[in-house]
Amino acid sequence: MLQIRHSEERGAANHGWLNSHHSFSFGSYHDPKHMGFGPLLVINEDRVTPGQGFGTHGHRDMEIISYVLDGALEHKDSMGTGSVLHYGDVQRMSAGTGVRHSEFNHSQTDGLHFLQIWIQPSVTGIAPSYEEKHFAPETKQGKLRLIASSDGRQGSVLIHQNAAIYASIMKEGDALEHALDQGRTAYVHLIRGSLVVNGTPLKAGDALKLTQEAKVTLDHAEDAEVLLFDLPY
């Protein structure tokens, strides 16, 4: 079964310094038809103006993943971690028993564009932890590059959930396929360009929910960058 989530139907929040689009219910945006997909609870596409950002705030029992698309994301947290992330960088923070952090646009002149992803963990009450890794564009070109997994395999960041996240950059003529084990679902979020997923055309910002499907096929790409989530049902 396939269900498309059109980009223009996402929740929108424009605070001046922050322009955000919510794939699922978040903050003041509430839609009972879009409360998450399995353990995937949040995909926010955030654009932050120069020098602005999210002040220090707290989380607990959540896997928080940042996927930087453009600009420089500055991160500081109560674990003592501080870094600036750029395109190709993936950040994972396991909030566990509780962590406080801030996220800012490091640049005073250029905008910041990134995806903020929240996944509900399969365990609670663990010690907070942090990890970041760089995935160069060429490692994602024409292939599905594992960027997050439950065991950190293939150099991916480790998340505390039986889920996997793949990233790909696809040009015209590229075609990919991902098999889904029984009892698994998939969520495909198109970041840029255009793509056809299981026969369904997607444009930038669109997503497709796949349930009771044996595989995910991605083809007819045009300058596409995409995330594929392999999730428990």
48-100 pLDDT, tens digit each: 999 999 999 999 999 999 999 999 999 999 999 989 999 999 999 999 999 99
Name the pTM for this structure.
0.96
User: Closest Cα partner for 39 from 22, 4, 64?
Assistant: 64
Instruction: Report whether pLDDT(233) > 90.
Output: no
Average of per-residue pLDDT values in the chain: 96
196-206 pLDDT, tens digit each: 999 999 999 99
Neighbours of 231 (CB within 10 A): 22
Q: What angle do CA 96, 63, 9 make, to 5 degrees?
A: 140
Q: Tokens 């926010």 identify what position?
A: 44
CB 123 within 8 A of CB 94: no
232 contacts: CB under 8 Å, gap ≥ 6: 38, 39, 161, 162, 163, 183, 184, 185
- Characterise 142 by phi-psi region: left (phi > 0), alpha (psi -120 to 50), beta (else): left
User: Which pLDDT does position 134 carry in this prediction?
Assistant: 97
Dihedral sign from CA coordinates of 209, 214, 219, 221: positive
113-163 pLDDT, tens digit each: 999 999 999 999 999 999 999 999 999 999 999 999 999 999 999 999 999
